[in-house]
């Protein structure tokens, strides 16, 4: 009696899920850097130690500023960063935060840059708020200058970082209703700097956003509003998504 023919091997398991369509954001990573740390105020000796930013030495970190009522910049930056993460993850992006106030102080500025580099981030945004005299209002985006020295070489990121910064700025203005800073940037909301280790040491497209001035009463009223902080996160996210082609 002839042997029975073997059953055909199934080409797919009945329980296997259909492959998901790959969108423009698939597989991309964003690193969000909440500026400062609430614990820095209690660890001034640690954050005062100098680190190498390629072109020179600079303090590991600073305390950041506060509103006149005592709301810390580090509280603001972490809240906005968490909101930003939620929005970006809903778009399918992988999001890494440099810290979540889960450490006593820091990280230092060189470590913040390294986290973005090691994550091979497609975009990195450091979230801040300014602390200048009252009457100075508005947001500004800090872009990396072209610098080379030691471990710093920003030649490859200057162009894409400007694109990222311009997209964030226009979306931030539209979503929050805030105007570009009236005290620097000549009304463009864009400032180029060569003295920030977080930018100098980055090998990935990266910008800082100063969302407003904590020392101005009108800006402080916005920065301390949860509803406004959600708008800020949405505006930054829209800029990032646009930069990444989403």
Catalytic residue among 73, 75, 166, 210: 210
Note whether 196 and 129 are within 8 A (CB): no
CATH superfamily, region 29-243 = Zn-dependent exopeptidases (3.40.630.40)
Strand order in the sheet with 190-193: 94-97, 29-34, 123-130, 206-213, 140-144, 190-193
The pLDDT tens digits of the residues spanning 105-164 come to 999 999 999 999 999 999 999 999 999 999 999 999 999 999 999 999 999 999 999 999
Residue 96: burial class (beta carbons within 10 Å; 0-12, 13-18, 19+): middle
Q: Is residue 45 scored above 80 in pLDDT? A: yes
pLDDT of residue 17: 43
The pLDDT tens digits of the residues spanning 25-35 come to 989 999 999 99
Task: Provide the pLDDT confidence category of residue 20 given band limits of 50, 70 and 90.
Answer: very low
One DSSP character per residue, the chain reads -PPPPPPPPPSS-TTPPPPPPP-TTTT-EEEEEE-S-GGGGG-HHHHTSEEE-SSSEEES-----B-TT--BHHHHHHHHHHHHHHHHHHTT-EEEES--S-SSS---HHHHHHHHHHTT-SEEEEEEEE---TT---BEEEEE---EETTEE-TTTHHHHHHHHHHHHHHHHHHH-PPBPSSSGGGSSEEEES--HHHHT--S-EEEEEEEETTSHHHHHHHT-HHHHHHHHHHHHHHHHHHTT-
pTM of the model: 0.91
Q: Is residue 7 scored above 90 in pLDDT? A: no
Phi, psi of 38, deg, nearest 5:
-60, -30
Note whether 202 and 111 are within 8 A (CB): no
Active site residue 227: no
**What average pLDDT does range 220-231 have in this prediction?**
98
Average pLDDT, the chain: 93
Task: Provide the pLDDT confidence category of residue 232 given band limits of 50, 70 and 90.
Answer: very high
pLDDT of residue 14: 39
Q: Is residue 4 scored above 60 in pLDDT? A: no
Domain extents in the chain? 29-243
């Amino acid at each position: 009696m002839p042997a029975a023919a073997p059953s055909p091997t199934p080409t797919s398991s009945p329980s296997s899920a259909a492959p998901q369509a790959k969108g423009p954001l698939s597989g991309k990573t964003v690193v969000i850097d909440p500026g400062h740390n609430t614990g820095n105020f209690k660890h001034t000796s640690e954050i005062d130690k100098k680190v190498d930013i390629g072109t020179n030495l600079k303090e590991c970190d600073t305390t950041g500023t506060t509103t006149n009522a005592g709301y810390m910049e580090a509280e603001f930056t972490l809240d906005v960063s968490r909101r930003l993460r939620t929005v970006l993850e809903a778009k399918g992006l992988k999001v890494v935060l440099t810290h979540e106030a889960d450490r006593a102080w820091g990280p230092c500025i060189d470590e913040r840059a390294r986290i973005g580099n090691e994550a091979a981030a497609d975009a990195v945004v450091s979230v801040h708020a300014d602390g200048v005299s009252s009457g100075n209002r508005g947001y500004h985006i800090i872009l990396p200058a072209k610098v080379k020295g030691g471990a710093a070489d920003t030649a490859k990121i200057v162009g894409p970082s400007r694109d990222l910064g311009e997209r964030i700025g226009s979306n931030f203005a539209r979503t929050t209703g805030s105007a570009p800073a009236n005290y620097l940037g000549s009304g463009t909301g864009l400032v180029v700097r060569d003295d920030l280790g977080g930018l100098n040491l980055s090998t990935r497209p990266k910008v800082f956003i100063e969302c407003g001035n904590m020392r101005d009463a009108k800006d402080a009223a916005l920065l301390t509003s949860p509803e406004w902080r959600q708008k800020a996160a949405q505006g930054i996210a829209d800029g990032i998504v646009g930069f990444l082609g989403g």
